[in-house]
Amino acid sequence: MRTIQWLVAAVFTANGLMMLVVPELWYHIIPGVIDTGPFNAHFVRDIGIAYLVSGAAFGWLLRDFDRAWPAAVGAAIFQLLHGGLHIVEVLLGTQSVTHLLVDAPAVLVLPALALWSISTH
């Protein structure tokens, strides 16, 4: 479980930092992002903050599970709801199934693994 938690902490933190520091680069190099609408640096940075907090929650979890697990659960739920939005967009017809399949590892699988890693501690 700790390996998954390390992976989650690293990916969420790295993604959040990139969104904050180089939002336009992030927008152009992450597959599928450019298909979601025009670049908006403020919006990318807002979401980057949420990713950074999610990564920090999992970093804390690795240090002190008993105190940090509620924060990590909140972070995983945010990430799963974010993934749920991607599913809703497919159902509404505003995004393609192909787009969802590209996004699924990052926005569905990783958050699900994150929550599972907490529940099996």
pLDDT digits (tens, 9 = 90+) for 41-76: 999 999 999 999 999 999 999 999 999 999 999 999
Q: What pLDDT was estimated at residue 35?
A: 87
Residue among 68, 26, 63 at smallest CA distance from 44: 26
Cα distances from 26 to residues 21, 29, 45, 94, 114, in angstroms, run 9, 5, 10, 22, 23
Residue among 88, 86, 77, 85 at smallest CA distance from 112: 77
DSSP state of 36: G
Report the interhelical angle of 110-119 vs 65-92 (nearest 10°).
Answer: 150
Q: What pLDDT was estimated at residue 121?
A: 82
Mean of pLDDT values over 70-97: 96
Residue among 100, 105, 84, 82 at smallest CA distance from 32: 100
Q: What pLDDT was estimated at residue 61?
A: 98
Q: What pLDDT was estimated at residue 21?
A: 98
Ordered by start, the domain boundaries in the chain are 2-119
H/E run at residue 84 = helix 65-92
Collapse the DSSP code of 96 into the 3-class scheme (helix H, G, I; strand E, B; otherwise coil) and give the result.
coil
Reported as a single tens digit per residue, the pLDDT across 8-39 is 999 999 999 999 999 999 999 999 899 889 99
Q: What pLDDT was estimated at residue 69?
A: 98
DSSP state of 108: I
Rounded CA gap, 24 and 111, in Å? 24
pLDDT over 90 at 77, yes or no: yes
Mean of pLDDT values over 95-101: 94
Q: What pLDDT was estimated at residue 33?
A: 93
Entry pTM:
0.93
Q: What pLDDT was estimated at residue 90?
A: 96
